Structure 1
């Protein structure tokens, strides 16, 4: 893991530059999602479900000392990959750092242009949850 969320974003952007087309980028996102840690069924509650996503998404957060830890899952492959992208940037970071890190990767990777409107809405709903938790814990 990189030292800061900004560094993680920069590394991610650099990795995506290796791919010539969006089909390869989508496959990379899907592959990242396949590596998410297991998310127990007992965590799949209405309270942890993210509203605004077309597919089912659950996100759990907990404070671990000075850092926030997130666990999340989805029943859709691309969305699971988007979760993995978010976890790579924001997971296990101090709340103040999370809250102060703008999601510049969205524009720099072109995700806003290449995701369907429903996936984009879901991604923004997940980001909103991460920022809400970080601000509440800061």
Structure 2
């Protein structure tokens, strides 16, 4: 699996845990999702309809060497917030090429398949796909085969 080092570390952390501890770690991630900067309004962000909860994201790929990610997810949706936080902590600041190389189904390596419904996991896949789409739209993709 080709993922940025920060995301690989998160995957390793999940892989080392038992089922109930994975859910606990996911909930810990949900509390770590950074607030949006004052300059960014949810209305200007892309919705992620694949998620069961209202989630919005924004990508700044003007600098291909350090992509910036922003997420908005309600506190009453801890699973969704946890997924957004994992993507933020694992991908924010990575290069466009590193993010585009992340496998669309990397989330299976977190081992949450038994603890989280497939519909919720598809939400995480939707977030990643939309991140990749925004990178391609903003910065272009020198390798079309890496598109989502």
Normalised by the size of structure 2, how large is the TM-score? Answer: 0.76
Report deviation, 1:80: 0.5
State the aligned residue count. 134
Report deviation, 1:101: 2.3
Q: In 2, Cα distance between the equivalents of 1:113 and 1:48? A: 29
| 1:39 has 2:40 as partner | no
Task: Call closer, same or farther: CA 1:47–1:85 in 2, change over 3 Å.
Answer: closer
Task: Call closer, same or farther: CA 1:73–1:94 in 2, change over 3 Å.
Answer: same
Report deviation, 1:63: 3.0
Whether the 8 Å CA contact 2:67–2:94 is kept in 1: the answer is yes
The aligned residue for residue 4 of structure 2 is 6
The aligned residue for residue 73 of structure 1 is 72
Report deviation, 1:99: 0.9
What are structure 2's unaligned runs of at least 5 residues?
A: 141-148
RMSD over aligned CA atoms reads 2.4
Higher fraction of helix: 1
SS at match of 1:102: coil
Report deviation, 1:55: 0.5
What are structure 1's unaligned runs of at least 5 residues?
A: none
Whether the 8 Å CA contact 1:96–1:135 is kept in 2: the answer is no
Q: In 1, Cα distance between the equivalents of 2:9 and 2:72? A: 23
The aligned residue for residue 48 of structure 1 is 46
Task: Call closer, same or farther: CA 1:127–1:31 in 2, change over 3 Å.
Answer: same
